[in-house]
A and B are shown apart, each in its own frame.
Chain A
């Protein structure tokens, strides 16, 4: 077990290193640069652009830029200055002025809260929903769940977010439109918006998996032994049907994390997701790199956790 984890960690570091190379390559290939226009979007005189590029070292050869950047990152955990939000370093944008001062209110932790809360909601609602619709296959509860999950999958979260704002804020006046951290009311809509897609997906998967498990021989055997139906379900069917659900959670997280961009944008949540899209359109290279590396790290760690969990649930797997 220990060697397995160490092994995976070493591999994760290689993966993240490669991601940094790929990201850097892409940024070199994408046309335009961070200084093509001023912060208000007005075109910049080429002369001023040259000078700013020199100031930030962007006139150096790409390989040199990369090495300088990575050296600073690895040895000082310094993501460099933001090229467009010039008052801030990328570290400040991602981790706040002082992370340990108030960790829960830093951008990265706000994104984490949003992601985890919606994740728990999705799993907490999705799995029971899937089990119920499997048990009542082709009956009313199944069809109702099918309808909900199909809508959940097919409505993009930016549309769902606006619909929720129209309903809960502007019509019912129950919840505030935007923000995060001042009251629990601000959390309701973003969490549901982000959680719905994943919930629907998990419900679907659980349904299919439970159905498949119920058809297995060992379930038939268990029933034939005269075990109570409830016992068969709880002891044999459910744990086994959860295995495939757990395995997709890792890859699902990738979609999840990118979902936070849109939800943070719609509800004006000060997390790190909404930085990414503006960073890309602004060509804020160091901020792009910072957000991508954080997302990748989360993804890699999540995959690791999922694998460990998988081993716990499935005794056939040994490390």
Chain B
């Protein structure tokens, strides 16, 4: 599972700009918002959309889920519990890289 997590994290690091927003809270919101919806789409579920910001996360998730299906065909063959565990791992790693262990000294500057 760790190899699969690393593969997805590597891909997301190269492709997705939403993980790099200016403030820590923005990054956390985007990582959870896009990755949860990507997982839902891969599971064939309809992700929740209440606000325009949710709609924006869904737009990113639609593109990402299509790319993941094409770049990592094994994603389609995973059981729901496996996919859930995979995305939990990806989310935790992304939070670690982009927020918790980030060396970006401006992440918590209120006036950035």
Q: Answer yes or no: are A and B bound together in one complex.
A: no
Q: Report A's interface with B, CB cutoff 8 A.
A: none
